[in-house]
Structure 1
């Protein structure tokens, strides 16, 4: 059973979904990605609650029933990490097991850099750790790699992406994105794109019309600006995090990715993940799990498998 409430933390109202025994000291906090909601973790929340864990999944700022500040600069990683740590405090959580996906994974990496004292262990999915000390701004790198028409590049200027990502078109947008698949063989070598899917195709088997209705109803209400503002802070995050340029993630970690995830096919990423660079930056990385046949939305596509991997890892602590 999922319980819902709204709490005040870090100066904003945060919607939180919870499952499991509230008195349990073994707490898992789930951070969702773009363009998703707490709902993306529904399967894991059910599975881990049944195994004795208290599960907490907020809508991140700008999403769902959580507040959406109007200032683009209010969506930096520092603000969102601040939200999550403040949420820990409001809920009385000293240390947690942390699980992230996509932008939620990026926020989880930052949180573990800034406040490793609050995290017992980390399970991150989809997005591998990206060193803060890169010598080029993220937006410049993506422009050089893919050009200005790449979706993250298009997202940078306020108002431009909103014309494409209109709340009135939320159903088509969510159908395209959630049905997205990427492999080098199927892409013909073109750049990975956030909406590479045919909106006329039926939903994938892991996603029901009721699931789609939930996502769509929320984005029809809120629009996509809050979600897109995370991308508009990539360069700001890079600048603000400069003091952590050489920092390591000193938290026990398991990383999970699908072999059909676009993030697993960025240039050089597989060498980084499998040939030692990842382990240098995340010294307590215990293992990397690559799930065959899984795309980007791995916690929904391979729900039972991901739930079991999370439980297998965090049950050691």
Structure 2
């Protein structure tokens, strides 16, 4: 795509595939589930055209990044994921160089923790869709989701190794990709056992991303499967155990947060109140702006690339 370079970087025991373009301050773009570097195709080109070096890796367990023990979800903790990115930065930047970070979905979760763990490597942060979730003494997110939404919620369904993989295997990969990336319901995402996707019939129109882009995602997930990405959910309880030491620690990086008004995360119980009524600002004291985009769902950087690109650049130019 228009001069984007692809490289394999050896870091943290992995062969990390990156896509990059441009010169200048590095902007690290961190994708979510079920996505790839390709999710940032619009942002890579725009950032490069505006004087930045855009770098988008395939995360551990995804795409053309290899070396992760996919069948062991305990090797997918937040420490592994942040470690991968620090190893990558050490390999492609000068010693101690600070970078901009942009994250979406799971990429946002990783980005919040990258900023918390390694403040020394980040100039500023723009995150989409998933606000910072501080460590809670009430238990991990899976416990909370199960209590509110029950056993059919997708996060709960993802917990048993092999279970969701077997169910997805009965559906062709292209359909799975389309169902995830075109989901626009503001309510919870259910995946009833044995019934496939709860929402939208198989012939639902593809509104996001375009068909050619669905084909790219499909080609990669046909090779890799979905276990790598699902492991990020399976390790949530272990992450909760391991990150208790960070209880009460704030994210002290200049930050901007963007979410769509149709995003299912935005409509989870308590999230709007947390974002808008002081809790988020307390946990991220250098949070400078919260933007709620109208008529936008979860995969906002692909659905609204022009608005997202402008929002990113407006913030990065401050530093």
TM-score computed with the length of structure 2 as normaliser: 0.93
Matched residue, 2:255? 253
What CA distance in whole angstroms lies between the structure 2 residues aligned with 1:193 and 1:18? Answer: 35
What CA distance in whole angstroms lies between the structure 1 residues aligned with 2:12 and 2:6? Answer: 19
Matched residue, 2:194? none
What CA distance in whole angstroms lies between the structure 2 residues aligned with 1:143 and 1:193? Answer: 12
Are 2:124 and 1:121 equivalent residues in the alignment? yes
Residue pair 1:175, 1:199 contacting (<8 A) in 2 also: no
Q: Point out where structure 2 has 5 or more consecutive residues left out of the alignment.
A: 192-196
What CA distance in whole angstroms lies between the structure 2 residues aligned with 1:182 and 1:219? Answer: 24
Aligned residue-pair number: 307
Matched residue, 1:200? 203
What CA distance in whole angstroms lies between the structure 1 residues aligned with 2:202 and 2:260? Answer: 22
Matched residue, 1:293? 295
Matched residue, 2:76? 75
Residue pair 1:4, 1:18 contacting (<8 A) in 2 also: yes
TM-score computed with the length of structure 1 as normaliser: 0.94
Q: SS where residue 165 of structure 1 aligns?
A: helix
Residue pair 2:122, 2:253 contacting (<8 A) in 1 also: yes
CA displacement, residues 175-198 of structure 1 (integer Å, 9 cap, x when unaligned): 111110123xxx5xxx33375333
Are 2:160 and 1:157 equivalent residues in the alignment? yes
What CA distance in whole angstroms lies between the structure 2 residues aligned with 1:223 and 1:8? Answer: 22
* Alpha-carbon RMSD: 1.3
Which of residues 216, 219, 237 in structure 2 aligns to 1:214?
A: 216
What CA distance in whole angstroms lies between the structure 2 residues aligned with 1:164 and 1:128? Answer: 30
Residue pair 1:176, 1:198 contacting (<8 A) in 2 also: no
Are 2:136 and 1:133 equivalent residues in the alignment? yes
Residue pair 2:177, 2:214 contacting (<8 A) in 1 also: yes
Are 2:36 and 1:34 equivalent residues in the alignment? no
Residue pair 1:17, 1:56 contacting (<8 A) in 2 also: yes
Q: SS where residue 235 of structure 2 aligns?
A: helix
Q: SS where residue 172 of structure 2 aligns?
A: helix
How far 1:141 sits from its partner (Å)? Answer: 1.1
Q: Point out where structure 1 has 5 or more consecutive residues left out of the alignment.
A: none
Q: Which moved more, 1:113-122 or 1:157-166?
A: 157-166
How far 1:167 sits from its partner (Å)? Answer: 8.6
Matched residue, 1:48? 47
